[in-house]
Amino acid sequence: MPFKVAVAVHSVLVIILLTILPESLSAEVREANVKKLAAEREAQRASDSSLVKRCLRRASAPLEPLRIFLPKANASFVRGDYNLTVVAAVEFLAVLTRVGTNTRQLAYYPRVSMLRNPNMPFLHWGGLKRSLGRTFPLWICVKSRCSLVSCLVSTSSECYLTRSTGAIPATDLGQANSQQPARPRAAVPVRARANRADSAAADRR
């Protein structure tokens, strides 16, 4: 049953992605990106003289996006801009702990004394296996409620702050991609910033 629910939820997600969520890049920016990428590939093909070089480049292609994390010389920083390098390191370790913690909590769950204690009433209802079935959803519910509350509080505070400080102009969303329906500004601040960055990039071009 849980798998069927997961399939149903993901199906709804696919529909939402295809129909409601707008493209993060405007059509002009996308077109410019395609042209830029084609030019870069052409230049690389021309520079690859030997077969070994070509093979090496193709093998390292999946790691190519990581180049943006290399420290850069920046006028604002004396020793170079290491911010994105630090961001990558933080992401690496944070994902490591997230995966580890969740799976290990699941593995550790049956060991806690609530389940091993023979005096606990639910153990008399059908043994350890059944008690797992009864208490496990409760634990997951408690965890998910806490996560939901904290995320709601944090994102709504961020939206309020973004609006009150005027960090994003009211007409910014929807301008970047005029073919798509505009979304409420407070919904996703990250996306709003992304659109603003796209508009700025298009203006520069």
Partner 1 sequence: MTFDYRLLVISLIIQISGNVMLGLNVAASGVLFVVASAWNMLGSPFDPCFGSLALGLSPSEVQPGQLFGALGVVDSLSQWFLAAPLYAGVFSATLAWYPPAIFLVTAITLTTVAALVALLRLPRNVSA
Interacting span for partner 1 (CB under 8 A) from 4-12, 13-21, 45-53, 196-204: 196-204
Q: How many CB atoms lie within 10 A of CB 1?
A: 5
Measured CA to CA, the distance from residue 81 to residue 71 in angstroms comes to 5
Least distance in angstroms from the C-beta of 145 to partner 1: 8
Chain centre distance of CA 186? 18
Nearest residue (CB) to partner 1, 8 versus 35: 35
Largest CA distance in the chain: 76
Sole binder of partner 1 in the list 28, 155, 180, 186 (CB under 8 A): 155
Sole binder of partner 1 in the list 4, 49, 50, 111 (CB under 8 A): 111
Q: Does 193 bind partner 1 (CB under 8 A)?
A: yes
- Which single residue is written with the structure tokens 């904290």? 150
Nearest residue (CB) to partner 1, 17 versus 52: 17
Q: Helices marked H in the chain — which ranges?
A: 2-19, 27-47, 51-59, 83-108, 113-116, 127-165, 189-204
Least distance in angstroms from the C-beta of 49 to partner 1: 28
Kindly state the tokens that stand for 190: 């990250």
Measured CA to CA, the distance from residue 187 to residue 159 in angstroms comes to 8
Sole binder of partner 1 in the list 17, 108, 181, 203 (CB under 8 A): 108
Q: Does 154 bind partner 1 (CB under 8 A)?
A: yes
Sole binder of partner 1 in the list 9, 68, 128, 187 (CB under 8 A): 68
Sole binder of partner 1 in the list 11, 44, 47, 144 (CB under 8 A): 144
